[in-house]
Structure 1
Amino acid sequence: MIISIRKIGSLIRFISMFAVLAMFFYFVLGWVSDWLTPMDPYSAPSGQAVKAFQPESTMDSRYSPAERLRLYYWYGE
């Protein structure tokens, strides 16, 4: 069996270039993802927009959990 130094060098160069380009694309896609994602998607809207869901605390809720479950099944949502 003949081992060619030129083929081994070519293989090492290919693997190293593949790894460098894979890391480059990984970081570029991460940067694009951070750029496209809003800063805080759960923040209160600005202007005249209204937030559709306001979480209620369980202490001052006007419906008990059983009543909320009954309403859930009643409305079929």
Structure 2
Amino acid sequence: MVLSLRKWVSRIVFAIIFSMLLILATGGYSWLVDVISPVHPYHKPKGAAMKVFQADPMIPGNGSLADRLRWFYWYGE
């Protein structure tokens, strides 16, 4: 079995270049996501702003079985 040093060196160089480009692409993608993504929606509002939302919608307690299944599939509870 003959091992060619030139082939192995070219394979190693290819693997190194591929790894560097992969790291560059993933880092660039994460940087781009950070730049484009909107402001965090759950941060405290600044100034006179108020964050208002309904935490728990009214849960149907005595509804029919169909209503309870519909509620389960709609809200996952």
TM-score by length of 2: 0.60
Task: Kindly state the Cα deviation for residue 43 of structure 1 after the two structures are TM-superposed.
Answer: 4.3
Change (3 A) 1:39 1:53: same
Count of aligned pairs: 63
Percent of paired sites with the same residue: 29
RMSD between aligned residues: 3.4
> Runs ≥4 in structure 1, deviation > 6 angstroms?
none
Task: Kindly state the Cα deviation for residue 45 of structure 1 after the two structures are TM-superposed.
Answer: 7.2
The corresponding residue for 1:40 is 40
In the alignment, structure 1 segments of 5+ residues that lack a partner are 57-62
Residues 27-74 of structure 1: per-residue CA shift (max 9 Å, x gap): 00000000111121234778xxx8672437xxxxxx9xxxx222894x
**Greater relative CO, 1 or 2 (CA 8 Å, sep 6+):** 2
TM-score by length of 1: 0.60
